[in-house]
Amino acid sequence: MHLQRNRPKNNSQRTPQGNLQGKTILVTGASRGIGRAIALEFAQQGVQRLILVARNQQRLIELAAELEALGVEAVPLALDLAQPIEVNIAIAQAWRDHGPIHLLVNCAGVAHQASFLASRLPQIQEELSLNLMGMYTITRLVARRMAAQQQGTIVNVSSLMGKIAAPSMATYSATKFAILGFTQALRSELAVHNVRVVALLPSLTDTDMVRKFQWFRWVMPTTPQRVAQVLVQGLQAGKPEILVGWQSHLAVWGNRLLPGLMERISQFAAPLTEIESPEQLRVARANSR
Ligand SMILES: NC(=O)c1ccc[n+]([C@@H]2O[C@H](COP(=O)([O-])OP(=O)(O)OC[C@H]3O[C@@H](n4cnc5c(N)ncnc54)[C@H](OP(=O)(O)O)[C@@H]3O)[C@@H](O)[C@H]2O)c1
């Protein structure tokens, strides 16, 4: 295998990538929750243009109007990230009409909470196809163009559940662990092209995603606005992994030092810990056919 080694020519040709002023940024999952808050926070940081991706066009148009009122050029781009052909065409057009894109934030994601034994295949497929394949598709398209420009930053939104797997969230945790592996590999691979790759790890955040969830004991939710502020601070500080909140730092350190204890705590804190009866398992099997 031949890996190209195009080292950036010298430091003076690098742009300070923590600085968001005048930048063009594409945020996926911008219609709601954390992605929307990130777009609004970036607008406060003097970015020039925000390309807003999600499926719900109406919500994107409303957000674009809010951003324009803050003096930022906003481009709503309604797109289903699980449709690679559609994404391919849209990103090529967006780059041509509004590029170069300096920063890509892969925030779109989906989560289903269920005991694995009672889980349903369509929900598992949805998590895998958006959280992983959707992210790969858009990242490949944007990263190649960034590499050609020798400039860019990619932020992949993982989760604290990408460090500590949680009962009742097996597939979601699997996708968020995978995102961290993907981010780490890309960070090394794209560094030679002056493209920085960062992971953002929010903990429980009060958004639509978790409204129907049974929450974990002792975990205090944060706000999407706080997640967005921590992202900006983390980018400015040049961090490769950005954790949100003291509970996350504590959990990650606890997991590093005492993994057995952390596993027991996470079992105890998790909802849905009751064991399914044979009848419940029979119904689950019948439903998943
Ligand atoms: N909330 C939490 O506690 C938490 C904690 C850790 C990490 N995270 C991560 O943070 C990210 C954002 O989560 P959130 O809490 O803000 O969730 P959310 O409020 O449910 O928002 C999800 C976003 O993804 C978009 N989306 C969903 N399916 C899509 C598709 N097929 N194509 C394009 N866009 C799609 C949604 O827009 P449309 O419906 O308009 O398409 C929406 O903008 C996710 O990656 C999540 O895993 C969340």
Q: What is the pTM of this model?
A: 0.90
Q: What local confidence, expressed as pLDDT, does residue 10 receive?
A: 39
- For ligand 1, whether the C-beta of 108 sits within 6 Å is yes
Burial label for 109, CB within 10 Å (0-12, 13-18, 19+), is buried
pLDDT in the model for residue 5: 42
Stronger pLDDT, 91 or 214, i.e. the higher one: 91
Q: What is the pLDDT of residues 244-269, one digit of tens each?
A: 988 888 888 888 888 888 888 877 77
Q: Which CATH superfamily is domain 17-287 in?
A: NAD(P)-binding Rossmann-like Domain (3.40.50.720)
Q: Is 60 exceeded by the pLDDT of residue 242?
A: yes
Which residues in the chain belong to E strands, given as ranges? 24-28, 49-54, 73-78, 103-106, 152-157, 195-201, 241-243
Per-residue pLDDT reduced to its tens digit, 45-97: 999 999 999 999 999 999 999 999 999 999 999 999 999 999 999 999 999 99
Instruction: Say how far apart CA 47 and CA 205 lie, in whole Å.
Output: 25
**Could you state, in order of their start, the residue ranges of all structural domains in the chain?**
17-287
Partnered with residue 199 across adjacent β-strands are 156, 241
Q: Is the model's pLDDT at 12 over the cut of 70? A: no
Q: Find the 239 Cα to ligand 1 centroid distance in Å.
A: 23
Q: For residue 260, how far is its CA from the centre of ligand 1 (angstroms)?
A: 31
- For residue 269, the model assigns a pLDDT of 79
> Cβ(222) to ligand 1 under 6 A?
no
103 in contact with ligand 1, CB cutoff 6 A: no
Give the number of the atom of ligand 1 that is nearest the alpha carbon of residue 157.
45
Instruction: Specify the pLDDT at position 1.
Output: 41
DSSP 8-state secondary structure symbol assigned to residue 11: G
Residue 113, ligand 1, Cβ within 6 A: no
Q: Can you tell me which residue has the tokens 């960062």?
A: 198
What pLDDT score does 284 carry? 64
3-state helix, strand, coil in the chain (%, to 5): 50, 15, 35
Atom of ligand 1 nearest to the CA of 108: 24
Q: Give pLDDT, residue 213.
A: 82
The best mutation among 126, 172, 207 to test binding of ligand 1, ranked by most ligand atoms within 8 Å of the C-beta, falls on: 207
pLDDT score at 261: 84
Active site residues: 172
Query: What spacing in Å lies between the alpha carbon of 10 and ligand 1's midpoint?
Result: 38
pLDDT at residue 219 in the model: 76
Ligand 1 atom, smallest distance to 30 CA: 43
Kindly report, residue by residue over 138-184, the tens digit of the pLDDT: 999 999 999 999 999 999 999 999 999 888 899 999 999 999 999 99
Which residue's alpha carbon is nearest to atom 34 within ligand 1?
Answer: 54
Q: Is the CB of 139 under 6 A from ligand 1?
A: no
Q: Is the CB of 109 within 6 Å of ligand 1?
A: yes
- Residues with Cβ within 8 Å of residue 54, at least 6 apart in sequence: 28, 29, 30, 31, 32, 35, 60, 78, 79, 108
Q: How far apart are CA 158 and CA 131, in angstroms?
A: 9
Q: Ligand 1, residue 56: give the atom nearest the CA.
A: 40
When the pLDDT of each residue in the chain is averaged and rounded to a whole number, the result is 89
